[in-house]
Structure 1
Amino acid sequence: MQKPTEPAARSASGYDLRPLSKAERERLAAPLTPEERHIILDHGTERPFCGTLLNNKQSGVYACRLCGLPLFQANAKFESGTGWPSFYQPFDPEHITELRDVSHGMIRTEIRCRRCDGHLGHVFPDGPPPTHQRYCLNSASMQFYPEGQPPEQHTAA
């Protein structure tokens, strides 16, 4: 009998991908506002054109708001006109989990942080070359770290 394949403990880019415990996730979520909790933990969506990272043009990395896992590099960001920060490729594909989402009367692909399972947004097949993907993110789900400042990591104990 073949054993099921266990997910990698580290991504190809070297980050710890072990899932956080429910208690650690709640501890990290404690300082969030009610709206941020709704977006990240309850799969909510912020209003378009209201996110704090929408117009950010600095070089750096966008990381998960809860656990610090790098999600997107600033050089992959583009103006989609949708009202949410949009990227054409992730920092490392292993850092993102994709799930089928049939809520709101449509079929979409939800994206979550691989480590903490926080809701990030959705990915659509209408982005620019070279990937033709549009990762549409909630600003509340991410924290921006300017170039040269690595994200603080919150990993499984």
Structure 2
Amino acid sequence: MDMAIFTSRHGELERTHKILQHLNQQQPLSPTDFAMSVHNTAAGWLTIIAKNTLPTTSLAAGEDSFQQGILEAQGILASGAAERVLLVDFDGALPEDYQPFVTLTARPYALALLLAAGESLQCVPVARQAAAESLPQSLSFLRHWLSGQTEFIVPGPRHDWRWTYDG
């Protein structure tokens, strides 16, 4: 792989929430929690653990984070800047204080895809037509993909995403 893209709706919200609780209670802050509360922590850990200076980027686009990661990967692959791009979409557990404000599943998850240029799988935005799902987009994509469907819709907050596969 030549590059990695990490997408997450909430990033390291558990750590951020913990920091905010400690600030509110006037308790000392953990330097580790502070350093690892940023959105690109996972991308940084990949390069450290792999001992590889792989170019990485981190995206946060709300419910559309996975789809925006796909668009980013498509652009990188089309430009020839990379032949294979690792796309990792993830979210940790959502602190209880935040759960009333989200409609999607708040369980921890991660999905990694190794993407290469090609034309057998395509994704385009379309007008809203699918009912809202309780799954994050990446898990909705995976559910449809594993079912063997050649065309499916993944709901988005403003428009949906139509996937077609002709492989």
TM-score with structure 1 length normalisation? Answer: 0.28
Judging by fraction of residues, say which structure has more helix. Answer: 2
Higher radius of gyration, 1 or 2: 2
